[in-house]
Amino acid sequence: MKASPADQRRLLDLAELDAAIQRADHARRNPAQAARVQELIAQRQTQSAELSRLLGERDDAQAELKRLEADVALVAARVERDRQRLATTSNPKDAQGLEHELASLAKRTSDLEDAELVVMERLEEADAAVAAQQAVIATTNEEGARLSAEAKASVAEATALHEQATRDRGAIAQSIAADLLAQYERIAARGTGAGLLARRTCGGCHMVLSGSDLRGLAEAADDDVVLCPECGCILVRTEESGL
């Protein structure tokens, strides 16, 4: 195939834009923050499960404290009733029975109040544990929100670069001869479409060509379309090629 050296040089711009389009496409599909965001989502699920467990323990302590408070109130009511009965009874046997019951109620009240203190301490610890876990989750959420915003900005930037490179590519492609462009597209579909031959090295695969290959390239006319013997991309020759 024949093509003007100018058209062949434009293939380098096309290849550069194709590479930029691929990079931008990868960047918008796989923002750098995505992996960490997924880690944070899994971390948040684990932290939420732990928070649910801690909330359950706190609820249990609150329920137990309410039960003890109700028992204390019930005992206090019985104490008040017995005191009133003791103050009005004239029967020594009844009075003795009431005094005995009041002593038992006093012991019951003391036991309940001790139990209340234990549960109140447990509830205080549960409240602190819940607050600490909520703070951990808030930190995770803050990092997740920040990274998500950064990822969104990165995707938007990559999308803009992709769109600009695609527009530039279209403009350059229109200026290249149809048959040369078609050959480039066929080669680019499986790898790099074109590369600069510079200092005996292919810009597509970065392989240093052998002496015999270079001699064959040196014998080709300027408008001959030549391919890299290593990777098959179109080799664009300039004064940098060292032929």
Q: What is the CATH number of the domain that holds 154?
A: 1.10.287.1700
Q: Is pLDDT of 242 > 80?
A: no
Which residue, 182, 197, 181, 179, is CA-closest to 235? 197
Three-state SS annotation for 130-179: HHHHHHHHHHHHHHHHHHHHHHHHHHHHHHHHHHHHHHHHHHHHHCCCHH
Arithmetic mean of pLDDT over the chain: 94
Q: Are residues 212 and 154 in the same domain?
A: no
Give the pLDDT band (50/70/90) at residue 199: confident
The pLDDT, as a whole number, for residue 94 is 84
Tell whether 122 and 105 lie within a shared domain: yes
Same domain, 75 and 104: yes
Q: Are residues 33 and 92 in the same domain?
A: yes
- Indicate whether this model's pTM tops 0.75: no
Q: Are residues 183 and 98 in the same domain?
A: no
Range of the domain at 197: 5-26+177-241
Domain end call among 145, 174, 203: 174
In this structure, the answer to whether residues 128 and 73 fall within a common structural domain is yes
pLDDT digit string, tens, across residues 147-188: 999 999 999 999 999 999 999 999 999 999 999 999 999 999
Q: Kindly indicate the confidence band of residue 206, based on its pLDDT and cuts at 50, 70 and 90.
A: very high
Residues 78, 101 share a domain:
yes
Q: Which of 174, 198, 226 is the last residue of a domain?
A: 174
Dump pLDDT digits (tens) for 55-112.
999 999 999 999 999 999 999 999 999 899 988 888 889 889 989 999 999 999 999 9
pLDDT computed for residue 90 by the predictor: 85
Q: Domain check: are 160 and 49 in the same one?
A: yes
**pLDDT tier at 241 (50, 70, 90 boundaries)?**
confident
User: Considering its fold, how many domains does the chain have in total?
Assistant: 2
56/36 same-domain check: yes
pLDDT of res. 98: 87
Check whether residue 203 and residue 89 sit in a common domain: no
Q: Report, as an integer, the average pLDDT of 5-21.
A: 95
CATH number at 223 reads: 1.10.287.1490
- Pair (66, 143) in one structural domain: yes
Q: Do residue 154 and residue 216 come from a single domain?
A: no
Domain limit, last residue, from 174, 189, 218: 174
How many CB atoms are closer than 10 A to CB 215?
11
pLDDT tens digits along 22-64: 999 999 999 999 999 999 999 999 999 999 999 999 999 999 9
pLDDT of 126 strictly over 90: yes
CB 194 within 8 A of CB 24: no
Three-state secondary structure call for residue 226: strand
